[in-house]
Amino acid sequence: MSEKGSGVEQNLWTALHHKVTKPGCSTSYPPDFSTSQYYVALLLHEFFHVMQYRRMGFDRFLTRYGYEMSQHGFDPDRLYDYESRSRTFAQETIERQADMVGVYGGFKFFGDAKGMKALAPRLRGSGVYGF
């Protein structure tokens, strides 16, 4: 993306550039997300939220997210806990779905066949990664 863009593109570039590189930010990310399995998983997790939002639309996404937060005691950590459950991908929370997609992608990117094999059954029927 060029810094010379205008409108939304320029604002996005400025926000990303600020968040990634500005010293003193409360959250800083590496300039290259491909150097860590954690950051690959995080990036794919967030991209999957974009896909969910696009598929559901603003109202449905926000309503479902709010409902799921209320069902988990407004504890964000509980939204990610898919390992202690045996639900299908479609039954999982928005966060759990995105987390599974991200974690699997991190395994795949770094060639962790054991991790991929363990998580693959949870992705069946998702349409993600060919499942």
Give the per-residue pLDDT at 75: 87
The separation between the first and the last C-alpha atoms of the chain, rounded to the nearest angstrom, is 31
- Give the rounded percent of residues in the chain with a pLDDT score beyond 70: 78
Who contacts 42 (Cβ-Cβ below 8 Å, separation ≥6)?
33, 102
Give the per-residue pLDDT at 105: 96
Mean pLDDT of 4-26: 45
Mean pLDDT of 75-99: 84
Q: Rounded to an integer, what distance in angstroms lies between the CA atom of residue 131 and that of residue 125? A: 6
Mean pLDDT of 72-80: 84
Give the per-residue pLDDT at 11: 45
Instruction: Check residues 104 and 82 and name the one with the higher pLDDT.
Output: 104
Give the per-residue pLDDT at 76: 80
Q: Would you say the C-alpha torsion 74, 76, 80, 83 has a positive or negative sign? A: negative
Confidence of residue 27 (pLDDT cuts 50, 70, 90): low
Mean pLDDT of 46-73: 93
> Contact at 8 Å (CB) between 56 and 39?
no
Mean pLDDT of 99-106: 94
* Chain Cα centroid distance, residue 89: 14
Mean pLDDT of 54-65: 93
Give the per-residue pLDDT at 41: 93
